């Protein structure tokens, strides 16, 4: 289990990848957040993928004034995150299971958001 923080969001979409075995509520549909993730243990910040439920995404973004718009079945930021928003979103702890790498991206599944 790794503690990660979201420090940037490229886009969010409904997960369409088959064959992934999720440990946290496998029957609940997952969203796929593609962005910049910070691994708290190694302090490495890199582009990655985080699979999470709608409820978990709401926990991360609530009261952060993040404005998303829907374009071609993807939610993207209406405007880039400000430094203050990056701090607020980045302070949210996400306990996640490492699923493996997909090309250049490390993939995680959110298990707990606090």
> How many other CB atoms sit within 10 Å of the CB of residue 66?
17
Q: Write out pLDDT tens, residues 63-82.
A: 898 999 999 999 999 999 99
Q: Looking at the whole model, is its pTM more than 0.85?
A: yes
Give percent of the chain above pLDDT 90.
Answer: 71
Rounded CA separation 8/10 (Å): 7
Whether 17 has a pLDDT exceeding 90, the answer reads no
What's the pLDDT score for residue 63?
87
* Domain spans, the chain: 2-113
Distance CA 38, CA 86 (A): 12
């Amino acid at each position: 289990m790794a503690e990660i923080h979201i420090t940037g969001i490229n886009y969010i979409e409904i997960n369409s990848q088959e064959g992934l075995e999720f440990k946290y509520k496998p029957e609940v549909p997952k969203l796929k957040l593609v962005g910049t993730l910070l691994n708290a243990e190694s302090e490495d910040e890199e582009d990655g993928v985080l699979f999470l439920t709608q409820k978990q995404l709401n926990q991360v973004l609530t009261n952060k004034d993040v404005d998303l718009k829907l374009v071609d079945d993807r939610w993207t930021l209406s405007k880039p995150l400000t430094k203050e928003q990056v701090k607020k979103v980045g302070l949210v702890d996400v306990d996640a299971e490492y699923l493996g790498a997909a090309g250049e991206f490390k993939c995680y599944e959110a298990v707990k958001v606090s």
